[in-house]
């Protein structure tokens, strides 16, 4: 009886508590990991190269559809001997937590302990509140995160 009353009270209190203390929930990995690619084309000879000075030309691409187009075109071009792609990943920190979601401590005032958690999605920053010890991760952990 008392247990169920306590649970009812907790349920009623939860939404208010969350709205009061937590800022926006952490975004999912896919929305904050941004990818770009360096494409290196190796031309068969200097006379084939657009620059005429080096047999390699390099470009930076940040759009996946454009990357596909470039690689497809280069793969069919007899003047090009090799196509090499290198991926760069950058984590957009614009929505990183600015305060503790449990006690409301602001990270600008009390620096949290912070470390990097390696993950197949790209990785996560872990923030441990210096005031209450609560952890939060950015971006949030998905079901596919080990």
Applying CB under 5 A, the residues found at the interface with Zn ion are: 100, 102-103, 105, 119, 121, 129, 131-132, 134, 145
**Of 95, 97, 101, nearest to 132 (Cα)?**
101
CB of 90 to Zn ion, least distance (A): 16
- Considering the complex, state which of residue 30 and residue 64 has its C-beta at the smaller distance from Zn ion: 30
Please state the φ and ψ torsions of residue 83, each to the nearest 5 degrees. Answer: -120, 125
- Considering the complex, state which of residue 95 and residue 131 has its C-beta at the smaller distance from Zn ion: 131
Name the pairing type of β-strands 80-91 and 113-117.
Answer: unpaired
- Considering the complex, state which of residue 83 and residue 102 has its C-beta at the smaller distance from Zn ion: 102
CB of 106 to Zn ion, least distance (A): 10
Compute the distance between CA of residue 19 and CA of residue 66 in angstroms, rounded to an integer.
Answer: 42
CB of 105 to Zn ion, least distance (A): 5
**Hey, is 37 helix, strand or coil?**
strand
């Amino acid at each position: 009886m008392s247990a169920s009353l306590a649970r009812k009270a907790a349920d009623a209190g939860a939404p208010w508590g969350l709205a009061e203390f937590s800022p926006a929930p952490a975004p999912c990995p896919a929305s904050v990991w941004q990818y770009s690619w360096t494409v290196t084309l190796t031309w068969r000879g200097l006379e084939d190269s657009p620059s005429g000075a080096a047999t390699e030309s390099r470009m930076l691409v940040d759009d996946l559809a454009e990357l596909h187009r470039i690689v497809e075109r280069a793969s069919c071009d007899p003047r090009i001997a090799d196509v090499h792609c290198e991926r760069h990943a950058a984590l957009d920190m614009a929505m990183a937590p600015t305060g503790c979601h449990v006690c409301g401590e602001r990270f600008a005032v009390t620096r949290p302990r912070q470390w990097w958690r390696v993950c197949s999605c790209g990785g996560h920053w872990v923030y441990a509140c210096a005031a209450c010890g609560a952890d939060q991760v950015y971006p949030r952990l998905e079901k596919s995160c080990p």
